[in-house]
């Protein structure tokens, strides 16, 4: 029966050179978060155009991870402002065309940090390359020299917008989140709805308004110590429920 099969959640990998060799990598915390959602994580390396249809056929959900890398600003018609910051053009090359196809099919999508940024860009939005340089915005970057528990510790509150998807699934309307990003949403893409903001006005979450499935993107890192965080677990449970529902719909009765 369809309910015996765990929903498969695709986790696109990042691309790094370790030593002299290129590697596809994905953070363990994202894989663990997929399992907390009750799903089976499947890390996907850089994909070719001819492989996207097969990946879509496999997917009951997609989780777009955070990353030290930024979306290349050429995808929103800007030059690189700070060449010292890491990019991952191989990830951009396949996730940006993949995201609209995921959404069009109604495959559940949970996008985290870089994932939020690439979702906005994939749908036609733009980014601030350095939000700390934008008048009125705070510095949302973490201190790279601080211990990891400090880097991922509470940094500021977010305020959930009324009447949206987050308000329906989260237990709180204001809560503290971590903050480890330099880029952020500038112009929101068409078809997206702001779900939460930080006190300085930075977009901290959005959802889609004209696609058939679950699709939520957050700028913070809910995967960090998620099992002990009620907000993170509410988000992951909702994502897992959506993946199971998608699996069951496409499997059909008796599958």
100-136: string of b/e by CB count within 10 Å (b at 16+)? eebbeebbbbbbbbbbbbbbbbbbebbbbbbbeeeee
Which among 207, 181, 183 is positioned nearest to 194, based on CA atoms?
207
| 223 labelled catalytic | yes
| 132 labelled catalytic | no
Answer whether 222's CB lies under 8 Å from 33's CB: yes
Strand partners, 25: 14
Residues 6+ apart with CB under 8 A from 237: 37, 38
Q: Which of 14, 39, 113, 243 is catalytic?
A: 113
| 39 labelled catalytic | no
Q: Which of 14, 128, 221, 243 is catalytic?
A: 221
Q: Which of 140, 161, 223, 243 is catalytic?
A: 223
Q: Give the whole-angstrom CA distance, residue 60 versus residue 6.
A: 9
Q: Give the whole-angstrom CA distance, residue 1 versus residue 42.
A: 21
Which residues are tagged catalytic?
113, 221, 223
């Amino acid at each position: 029966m369809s309910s015996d099969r765990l929903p498969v959640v695709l986790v696109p990998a990042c691309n790094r050179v370790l030593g002299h060799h290129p590697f596809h990598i994905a953070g363990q915390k994202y894989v663990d978060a997929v399992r907390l959602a009750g799903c089976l994580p499947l890390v996907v390396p850089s994909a070719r155009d001819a492989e996207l249809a097969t990946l879509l056929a496999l997917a009951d959900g997609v989780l777009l991870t955070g990353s030290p890398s930024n979306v290349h600003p050429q995808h929103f018609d800007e030059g690189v402002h700070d060449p010292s910051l890491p990019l991952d053009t191989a990830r951009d090359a396949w996730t940006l065309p993949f995201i609209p196809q995921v959404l069009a099919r109604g495959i559940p999508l949970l996008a985290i940090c870089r994932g939020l940024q690439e979702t906005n860009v994939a749908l036609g939005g733009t980014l601030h390359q350095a939000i700390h340089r934008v008048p009125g915005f705070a510095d949302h970057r973490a201190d790279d020299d601080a211990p990891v528990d400090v880097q991922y510790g509470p940094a500021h509150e977010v305020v959930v917008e009324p009447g949206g998807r987050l308000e329906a699934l989260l237990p709180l309307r204001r809560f503290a989140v971590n903050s480890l990003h330099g880029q952020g949403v500038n112009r929101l893409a068409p078809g997206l709805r702001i779900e939460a903001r930080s006190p300085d006005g930075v977009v901290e979450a959005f959802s889609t308004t004209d696609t058939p499935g679950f699709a939520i993107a957050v700028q913070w890192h809910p995967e960090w110590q998620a099992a002990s965080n009620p907000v993170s677990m509410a988000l992951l449970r909702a994502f897992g429920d959506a993946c199971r529902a998608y699996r069951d719909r496409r499997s059909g009765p008796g599958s």
